[in-house]
Amino acid sequence: MTDTTLPPGDAAGDRIEPVDIQQEMQRSYIDYAMSVIVGRALPEVRDGLKPVHRRVLYAMYDSGFRPDRSHAKSARSVAETMGNYHPHGDASIYDTLVRMAQPWSLRYPLVDGQGNFGSPGNDPPAAMRYCVTGDALVRLPLGQTVRIRDVAPAKPNSDAVVDVKVLDRHGNPVSADRLFHSGEHQTYTVTTTEGFEVTGTGNHPLLCLVDVGGVPTLLWKLIDEINCGDRVALQRIPATEIGCADWEDTLTGLLLGAFISEGFVSENRAGFNNLDRDYFNNVVAAYDAVVGGPRYLSERRIASDSTLLELDVHNLAALASSPLAELRGHRSAAKSVPDRIWNATAPVKRAFLQALFEGDGSCSALPRNTIQVSYSTRSDRLAKDVQQLLLEFGVVARRYLHATGEHKVVITNRGHAEAFASQIGFGGAKQQKLLAILRDLPEVAAGLDSDSVPGLAAFIRAHSGGRWIDKEWLRKHNIDRLSRWQRSGTEILEHIADPDVRAIASELTDGRF
């Protein structure tokens, strides 16, 4: 039963109606169910199409698919629909596309299908075949990363039922219920100017920043459509951290980072050395807690007149059953980030990177008030892995091959150096040096950094609307650099009158890509 109470006041908004929660939930659920049925599930009486049908057809029309054109991959239409008009799972969009190509599903098929689109006898259509290689990384909600081949055991040309949460392009957790193994196909590798790589089939979609009639827009493009000069969007949302990390896992991350950077594990011996006494003591404590067993400590003066601290292990019995065992026999050029670290949470990855950079990393102040944080290794694979791990913390680094034969991972953008210092940092004395360099930099950088949204400034200035004084302000100020948006985003938006332009600018500068 519902009571109506009229509190003091004559305004209509002063009415308060206490409602039984069960009754309200029933009514709200019925309203929602009816809105879904009427707005999505029921075909339009005029043409028999549901909203998802229209979205697929419009995306195909917008992509230039016509009766006089050649056939195109289903994945392309699905990607365009999902990215622009129907932000739901690709499976439902593909099922809709399939039904529009089946003559027994619609009186008049709207799509000319080429290939296996099923049969009236309930034979399923072929799965939408776009894929990446098995070593491609998939991000999970709490900071873990897993290689796609390890999500579930699968044989070529088969599918496996899975129940796993992954991150979508916005960084939100979504459910994945099936893993397809499409067998062997021709693959292509896309490499960005920073050195990031992705390898997949030609019809695998990648999110790109595209100029659509002067409007910078995030659209899906297939790998075989990507050309030199195209801009691929990379997600750089830091992982969600909940609660405290397990102390043993964190010490394991520190120990692995230290030994990969400044240590070795051979068939008969293992060792680690460093100049920083506090950092060295932390590594020894982690070794005793995680590995245990006999070890020897020593120190000696080296040519630079510094004291080199050394940890030596001659009896590898305890080490053989510890996490360090997977490093056994690895040469410098063959090192990589262990799967144990990829599968760990963000705090463990942070401890690993701190130890790694404290060993073979460095930071330095450069001319013109600039800064560089770098990591050097002989292993191309390790450099790629470190670059990807940094990206998981929102830090964008550049990778290149130095003239000395070393692979370098460098951070030269001030904003990313600050993010490195706050999100990760060094594991020892180098952290204090980095913080001192950052403190000595001017509060506002005088130069322009490379972290920008191409075409955004021209788009805003052309379509901002509003007063002349606002347009003049936008013309005189730099409004395409992400550092400026992070610092003065509200001020910039105050000079943009058009709400659509404000929405587009806000989406492209929120730091997700």
Tell me the DSSP string of 244-304.
Answer: PPPHHHHHHHHHHHHHHHHEEE-SS-EEEEES-HHHHHHHHHHHHHHT-S--EEEEEE-TT
Distance CA 110, CA 128 (A): 19
Looking at residues 147-173, what average pLDDT do you find?
Answer: 82
Residues in the chain: 513
Confidence of residue 38 (pLDDT cuts 50, 70, 90): low
Of 172, 112, 109, 116, nearest to 140 by C-alpha is: 172
Distance CA 370, CA 415 (A): 11
Is-contact 480 457, C-beta < 8 A? yes
Distance CA 237, CA 391 (A): 8
Distance CA 196, CA 127 (A): 29
Check residue 378 and give its pLDDT: 92
Of 424, 426, 307, 296, nearest to 358 by C-alpha is: 426
Is-contact 38 44, C-beta < 8 A? no
Which residues, in sequence order, are CB contacts of 221 under 8 Å at separation 6+? 205, 206, 208, 210, 230
Looking at residues 318-344, what average pLDDT do you find?
Answer: 89
Check residue 98 and give its pLDDT: 84
Check residue 210 and give its pLDDT: 86
Hey, is 409 helix, strand or coil?
Answer: strand
pTM: 0.77
Q: Give the distance, in angstroms, between the CA of residue 31 and the centroid of all CA atoms in the same chain.
A: 37
Distance CA 52, CA 106 (A): 15
Q: Is the pLDDT of residue 386 over 90?
A: yes
- Which has more confidence, 129 or 400? 400
Q: Is the pLDDT of residue 485 over 80?
A: yes
In the chain, the domains with their CATH numbers are: 21-128 (3.90.199.10), 130-185 (no CATH), 247-440 (3.10.28.10), 456-508 (no CATH)
Hey, is 39 helix, strand or coil?
Answer: helix
Whole-number Cα distances in Å, 428 to 65, 260, 354, 408, 416:
58, 16, 8, 21, 20
- For the annotated catalytic residues, the residue numbers are 130
User: What are the phi and psi torsion angles at 274 (to 5°)?
Assistant: -165, 160
Looking at residues 451-463, what average pLDDT do you find?
Answer: 86
Check residue 253 and give its pLDDT: 92
R_g of the chain, CA atoms, integer Å: 28
Evaluated on CA atoms 60, 61, 62, 63, the torsion sign reads: positive
Check residue 365 and give its pLDDT: 87
Alpha carbon dihedral 270, 275, 276, 280, in 10-degree steps, equals: 20
Distance CA 368, CA 446 (A): 9
Is-contact 374 361, C-beta < 8 A? yes
Neighbour order of strands in the sheet with 270-274 = 263-265, 270-274, 307-313, 296-301
Check residue 385 and give its pLDDT: 93
Neighbours of 427 (CB within 10 A): 28
Confidence of residue 222 (pLDDT cuts 50, 70, 90): confident
Distance CA 204, CA 220 (A): 9
Looking at residues 171-183, what average pLDDT do you find?
Answer: 80
Q: Is the pLDDT of residue 79 over 80?
A: no
Distance CA 450, CA 444 (A): 15
Looking at residues 90-119, what average pLDDT do you find?
Answer: 80
Check residue 122 and give its pLDDT: 67
- Which has more confidence, 48 or 459? 459
Q: Is the pLDDT of residue 2 over 50?
A: no
- Which has more confidence, 395 or 449? 395
- Which has more confidence, 14 or 197? 197
Distance CA 214, CA 459 (A): 6
Most confident stretch, 221-235, 283-297, 448-462 = 283-297
Check residue 380 and give its pLDDT: 92
Check residue 376 and give its pLDDT: 93
Confidence of residue 482 (pLDDT cuts 50, 70, 90): confident
Neighbours of 42 (CB within 10 A): 11
Residue type, 375: Y
